[in-house]
Amino acid sequence: MEFFDRAETWSREEIERVQLVRLRNTVQQASGSPFYAARLKEAGIAPADIRSLDDLRSVPPTTKNDLREQYPAGLVAVPREQLVRLHASSGTTGAPTVVHHTQNDLNSWADLVARSMYMVGVRPDDVFQNTSGYGLFTGGLGIHYGAERLGCHTIPAGPGNTKRQIKFIRDFQTTVLHIIPSYALYLGAALEEEGLSGAELPCRVALIGAEPHTEEIRQRIEQMLGLKAYNSYGLSEMNGPGVAFECTHQTGMHVWEDAFIPEIVNPDTLEPVADGEVGELVMTTLCRQGMPILRYRTRDLTRFLSGECACGRMHRRIDRILGRADDMMIIKGVNIYPMQIEQVLMGFPEVGENYVIELVSEDFIDQLTVKVEIRDGYFVEDMRVLTGLQKAIVRQLRDEILVTPRVDLVQTGSLPKSEGKAVRVIDRRGKE
């Protein structure tokens, strides 16, 4: 088994020993920011009070709202002249969430991304094509610097312009793609329209993330593009890409615990949940100088996977992101997550790659409608066939979400397409 750096080979004892040292240093570093100086003082916590990793739970959590209220620099813990870059969220309302980096922060980030890519078999002789957005969004530059750190021939293609993406893949023999799941499906459909198949492309690895997606979606991506697709997890508050990554066994994502402390808690009580139980992921940075963050509530829902990974790495694994605590829909008193609906839809071979969930209010009662594209070969004029498929989808959705939805079957290409993140839920309640 090959490793990019020694931290991947550490035992649990080594990981936790390093975490404790770095956690004390991080609390000390965070105290240099106006926000944490006040927050920690109010909680009566000093760096010397961190005697074990369990003591982290005494630190009050940090929320996205805290970051917005502290805009533009309330969490910065170093003099301004030490800062070399900032990234910001893509939110369009209110103050954005901004993260500031020192050069050391960027170096550490690039190392984590390079380590993640190396883990799934990417090597310096690979040609890497980045279809992620550049600019304030972390996905583009974060993965770009990691690929260059690893030594790949890197193509900063950016998002969209699908015909050019395909041309570059073929002309420059791209072997590794960084791509969000919905755009990977879009790219696969575009290949089919041009009479090509994924097997004809040189790509062998896709790094996917940025959107919650099911195992069924991953399998479709692998089939359409003729490669192996590895799931990843990142968020701008923790860096961006490179926080957690699958290994070649594809049995959960390893969190790089030498750089982060992950917790999974009940989102209502903030108490830890047992391994295997779904909860909210809470993250603490361990190597950040410019803007350390303590116990950040990601709102992402996942679970710790128990047992040791066959790859030999002892860094804990989390399951794929199952949704967000704030993405939950409540319909007729039932809690529903979009991922539940996607999982059912992708189990039908007749279903295409695009669907939309619409929420409306009729006579003061919330209704859920799922509009789903059907593959051309299955969209026939015989209404009995389509009605049978519609009833089967309704039945399986009802069994999964405990609410009977409306299901509209539409032809391929009928629903809006996006070359960026897919918009899966449209809430029209109170807007008619």
Q: pLDDT tens digit string along 20-58?
A: 999 999 999 999 999 999 999 999 999 999 999 999 999
The C-alpha atoms of residue 48 and residue 18 are separated, in whole angstroms, by: 16
Is the predicted pLDDT of residue 93 greater than 60, yes or no? Answer: no
- Nearest residue to 296 via CA among 281, 283, 310: 283
**Which residues make Cβ contacts (< 8 Å) with residue 196, sequence separation at least 6?**
166
Q: Residue 166: its pLDDT value, please? A: 96
The C-alpha atoms of residue 221 and residue 219 are separated, in whole angstroms, by: 5
284: part of which helix (H) or strand (E)?
A: strand 279-285
Spell out the alpha helix ranges (H) of 126-271: 138-150, 162-171, 181-193, 215-225
* Model confidence, pTM: 0.83
- Nearest residue to 224 via CA among 190, 258, 252: 190
CA dihedral (263, 269, 275, 276) in degrees, to 10, reads -120
The answer to whether residues 405 and 355 touch, using CB atoms and an 8 Å cutoff, is no
**What is 328-427's CATH topology?**
GMP Synthetase; Chain A, domain 3 (3.30.300)
Classify 103 as helix, strand or coil. Answer: helix
pLDDT in tens, 231-288: 999 999 999 999 999 999 999 999 999 999 999 999 999 999 999 999 999 999 999 9
The answer to whether residues 334 and 402 touch, using CB atoms and an 8 Å cutoff, is yes
Find the radius of gyration of the CA atoms of the chain: 22
Is the predicted pLDDT of residue 391 greater than 90, yes or no? Answer: yes
Taking the domains of the chain in order of start, what are their residue ranges?
A: 1-325, 328-427
CATH class in words for 1-325: alpha beta
